[in-house]
Copies of this chain bind each other. A is one copy, B any other.
């Protein structure tokens, strides 16, 4: 199948408009309010954080997503509206009502998504004024403003779009997305937001199934610092504007869509890691020949979240001992004498014993911007790929100075 990269991000697919502006939540005056809008009701799917302290907008969306269709999502950065009690929930509901009114759509079809500082009430006056100005800005070219307005400590905005043809009848489908990430990124989707739009026609159950599956293979396979958030959400809208025969079962069309959706979410997930707080290197961890997906997943997370491994990567130091120690600390059965560890395709630990390489010969091995760490258990046939960033001075700086 030919998958074509196209411009337009979240508004690339037919029938979508977006906008973004600064309403004053952020002191920096950077954009902090965005909206994504579908000209007709779109089938909706979403995946949310598993954190106990789900933010008000997340709790609201978990309820609303049960509705079959969606028209718009309002997104603000700078304030997460998390741990804000009843007032926070009232605020979220009020902003949704206001947006629905402005758009002249049913408020059941409008969602709100927030990211930023935890535990502070939303500056409602600023948001209300912001919505007034934002809705008239909705346009086919608003994608970049929206992608910018959802950023927190992100350094660059993240958007992508693809087109492809359905195998059954060649209908051209477009799909676009945007995301924000940076700190607190963790397997269970911490403090990351993702928004995806497509003009495909597909049954709600299948849309949800596909989204859940690709999120597990993308946003749930990244980590910047191992923390989880109160606000993580990924939304997917499908408004059927492409005019294809609705996908109602897991046929070739479904798998074609799934493939593109996976490529899109993996692209966005990797973009989040590239832009991880203070990240200087992009680290891929491959756990191969594990007994089960679950154990491969556990091992890859353990290595990815090891501060010792992450600082070694920052220092460009091929300290495979730290990788082995992280692996060894996993509560999983495996044969130590079968374990192999490679860094950037260079085998350093072979079937349980180190390979004798002079230090000089390892110089430069990890000086690359991208680092590949491979662990082979020689146990079964399952594998997992996981992406993370290094731990740098700037990570500490950004996170020590974020709040006050």
- Contact A315 to B400, CB < 8 A, known contacts A324-B83, A329-B190: yes
- Determine if A399 and B307 form an interchain contact, defined as CB atoms under 8 angstroms apart: yes
Task: List chain B residues, Cβ under 8 A from A123.
Answer: none
Q: A198 interface residue, CB < 8 Å from B? A: no
- Count chain B CB atoms within 10 A of each CB in A183, A316, A325, A401 and give the residue with the most: A325
| Known contacts A53-B324, A320-B119; is-contact A400 B311 (Cβ 8 Å) | yes
Set B52, B186, B307: member contacting A330, Cβ < 8 A: B52
Mark out the residues of chain A between 308 and 335 whose CB falls within 8 Å of any chain B CB in the assembled complex: 308, 311-312, 314-322, 324-330, 334
- Decide if A396 touches B399 in the complex (CB within 8 Å): no
Q: How far is the CB of A50 from chain B (nearest CB, A)?
A: 8
Give the docked Cα–Cα distance between A392 and B395 (Å): 10
Interface string of A214-258 (1 = CB under 8 A from B): 000000000001111110000000000000000000000000000
**Interface residues of A, dominant DSSP:** loop
**Does B227 contact A328, Cβ atoms closer than 8 Å?**
no
A317 contacts B52, CB within 8 Å?
Answer: no
Q: Give bound CA distance, A307 to B52, whole Å.
A: 19
- In the complex, A84 has a CB within 8 A of chain B: yes
On whether the beta carbons of A52 and B327 are closer than 8 Å, the reply is yes
A395 — which chain B residues lie within 8 A by C-beta? 307, 311, 396
Which residues 322-372 in A have Cβ within 8 Å of B in the complex? 322, 324-330, 334, 336, 349, 352-354, 359, 362-363
* Interface residues of A, Cβ cutoff 8 Å to B: 50-54, 80, 82-85, 117-120, 183-184, 186, 188, 190, 225-230, 305-308, 311-312, 314-322, 324-330, 334, 336, 349, 352-354, 359, 362-363, 391-393, 395-397, 399-404
17 examples of A-B residue contacts, CB within 8 angstroms: A52-B327, A52-B329, A83-B349, A84-B354, A85-B352, A118-B319, A225-B307, A227-B325, A228-B329, A307-B395, A308-B399, A311-B396, A312-B400, A314-B396, A315-B400, A359-B404, A393-B393
